[in-house]
Each structure stands twice: as structure tokens, then as C-alpha cells.
């Protein structure tokens, strides 16, 4: 990339854009507060009980990002209507993907979080309760959208940039993806709607209990894809793993996805490079 990426400038744009959209609908924002600033920017539009999520870096690999955000709104709306504990969409402005200054965003009810992380058993049990409800979702969802989109696009971006990974490492990523792809496209077993990125960090602790959050990665697949980020205690709490072989394949895929994602977006967000370097070392060792 010829010019250094201005992450601070993008975050500032994201805050301003979310405030501008809110004001279009008569919502006064006195003191916007950043909740999170990573691949997207989350802003509490104080004093309104609204959290804006503005897609910033994620949209580099996910185009059009509106498709991903619309799927999330639809799935969360369905789950909320079924009484599933989720962070709901805000009803103080139209439920839609909004755009301002070239940035796309969605708006959610702000619920004050508690500083509590759910234990593995809780995550497993809540996932076991979530999946049967998701089976009844009738909207269209793509197969394993996160890895099947992000990995090939990420590898293409790494090749285009050219100075992040060497040719041997790029070939390793391609070869690993090509080896896994036939089983991903024809997994066998029962495919169903999934959270897509189910882990303890996407369960928000509140005074009313834990709420599922962040369904941008929602897709179809075997339930084992939602189990890859849960340890053995969580999987025991979840119950029987129907396709243990696919769980192993999905675990390899998740590792590959993380490596490609972080390296491909490292010019804009280098914070997690140290962690994925160890994953890439492991992948080299598995060769």
C-alpha cells in the first residue's frame, strides 16, 4: 500500500457518520463513546440507548458489506421474536442498513454490560438452546459464508499487496484451502442456520443474563462450525457431536481463516499479528 493507513481518521469518520444518521431521525447525541474499535467501530450514542456498529475494515474483504449486515438484521429480528436472548435491533430508527460518508452501519439497543465472561459450560448450553430455534429460520443463508468468502479474497489481497507473506507461505495457504474445500462444499450431515462466530466473547453479560451478539457471520453449515471455538467442557455441555470428523476439518478451517483474515487486513489492523504468526508456524509444521 502506497500510503500509510489512517486508522484514527477512519474511526473518527465512523463516529461522525453514526451521529449524523441518528440525528436524521431526531436522535440527539451529546457524547458518543467508543465501545470497541477493531474491524468495525461500535459507538454508544449517549444519552440515547443506542449502539451503532459501523463497518470499517471488515468491508475490505466482504463486498457488498450490506448483504452481510442485512442477513444479520434478519436473523436477529427472527430470534428476538422467538424469545431468544439476543441484543435486539434498536427500534428508535428504521431497521435497515444505513449509509453515511461511504460507511455502512446498523443500530442496536444499548444494554449496559457487566464485566463477566461466561464459562464454557454456559456457552455450550446456550448454543444447544440457540441451534433448534435457528433451524426454523426460513431466510436464505449462504454456506459457511465467513471462510468461503474471506479466505479466497484474503489470499488474493495478500498476493496483490505482495510484501506481507512470502511465496511459500502464500502457496501453503492456497494448498490448505484447496485441500479442505471439497469437504466444505459437500459436508454431508444436516445443514442448518448457524450463529457463525459463536464464542464466549459474543455473549454479553447483562443484568438480565447473557445475550447473544454479533451475527454478521451467520450462515448455513453443520453445527460443528459453531463448536470450533468452544473447549471440551463446552462441547460436553452442548451434547452429542454428530460429525466429529467435520469438527476436526472445521477446526483446521478456523485456523486457516484466522491466519488469512489477520494477515490480509494487517495493513489496516496489525494488532493481532503476533498471535497469528504462531498459528502460521503451526500450519507450516503440519505440512
CA 118, CA 207: separation in Å to the nearest integer?
Answer: 13
Separation of alpha carbons 116 and 206, rounded Å: 9
Burial class of residue 40 in the structure, from the number of CB atoms within 10 Å of its CB (0-12 exposed, 13-18 middle, 19+ buried) = buried
Q: How confident is the model at residue 1 (pLDDT cuts 50, 70, 90)?
A: very low
Name the CA dihedral angle for 113, 135, 198, 103, rounded to a multiple of 10 degrees. Answer: -70
**Grid cell of 83 as nine digits:** 424469545
Task: Please report which helix (H) or strand (E) contains residue 193, including its range.
Answer: strand 192-194
pLDDT in tens, 89-147: 999 999 999 999 999 999 999 999 999 999 999 999 999 999 999 999 999 999 999 99
Residue among 261, 255, 264 at smallest CA distance from 162: 264
Q: Residue 188 has what pLDDT?
A: 82
Taking only the tens place, the pLDDT of each residue in 13-44 is 999 999 999 999 999 999 999 999 999 999 99
Query: Quick one: pLDDT at residue 286?
Result: 75
Q: Which domains does the chain have, with CATH numbers?
A: 7-109 (3.30.200.20), 120-286 (3.90.1200.10)
Is residue 44 within 8 Å of residue 33, measured between CB atoms? Answer: yes
260: left (phi over 0), alpha (psi -120 to 50) or beta: alpha
Q: How far is CA 31 from the centre of its chain?
A: 27
- Read off the pLDDT of residues 185-210 as tens digits, 9 standing for 90 and up: 888 888 999 999 999 999 999 998 99
pLDDT of residue 287: 66
Asked if pLDDT for residue 239 goes beyond 60, the answer is: yes
Amino acid at each position: 500500500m502506497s500510503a500509510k493507513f489512517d486508522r484514527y481518521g477512519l474511526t473518527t469518520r465512523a463516529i461522525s457518520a453514526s451521529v449524523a444518521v441518528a440525528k436524521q431521525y431526531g436522535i440527539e447525541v451529546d457524547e458518543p463513546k467508543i465501545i470497541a474499535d477493531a474491524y468495525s467501530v461500535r459507538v454508544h450514542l449517549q444519552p440515547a440507548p443506542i449502539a451503532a456498529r459501523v463497518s470499517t475494515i471488515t468491508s475490505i474483504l466482504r463486498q457488498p458489506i450490506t448483504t452481510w449486515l442485512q442477513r444479520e438484521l434478519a436473523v436477529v429480528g427472527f430470534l428476538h421474536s422467538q424469545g431468544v436472548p439476543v441484543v435486539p435491533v434498536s427500534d428508535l430508527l428504521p431497521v435497515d442498513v444505513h449509509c453515511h460518508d461511504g460507511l455502512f452501519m446498523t443500530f442496536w439497543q444499548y444494554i449496559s454490560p457487566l464485566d463477566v465472561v461466561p464459562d464454557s459450560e454456559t456457552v455450550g448450553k446456550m448454543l444447544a438452546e440457540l441451534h433448534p430455534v435457528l433451524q426454523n429460520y426460513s431466510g436464505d443463508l449462504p454456506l459457511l459464508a465467513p471462510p468461503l468468502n474471506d479466505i479466497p479474497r484474503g489470499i488474493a489481497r495478500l498476493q496483490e499487496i505482495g510484501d506481507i507473506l512470502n511465496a511459500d507461505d502464500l502457496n501453503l495457504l492456497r494448498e490448505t484451502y484447496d485441500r479442505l474445500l471439497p469437504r466444505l462444499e459437500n459436508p454431508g450431515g444436516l445443514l442448518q442456520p448457524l450463529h457463525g462466530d459463536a464464542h464466549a466473547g459474543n455473549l454479553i453479560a447483562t443484568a438480565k443474563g447473557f445475550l447473544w451478539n454479533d451475527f454478521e457471520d451467520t450462515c448455513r453449515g453443520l453445527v460443528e462450525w459453531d463448536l470450533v471455538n468452544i473447549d471440551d467442557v463446552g462441547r460436553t455441555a452442548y451434547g452429542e457431536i454428530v460429525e466429529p470428523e467435520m469438527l476436526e476439518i472445521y477446526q483446521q478451517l478456523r485456523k486457516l481463516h484466522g491466519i488469512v483474515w489477520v494477515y490480509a487486513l494487517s495493513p489496516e489492523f496489525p494488532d493481532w499479528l503476533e498471535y497469528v504468526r504462531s498459528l502460521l508456524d503451526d500450519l507450516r509444521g503440519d505440512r
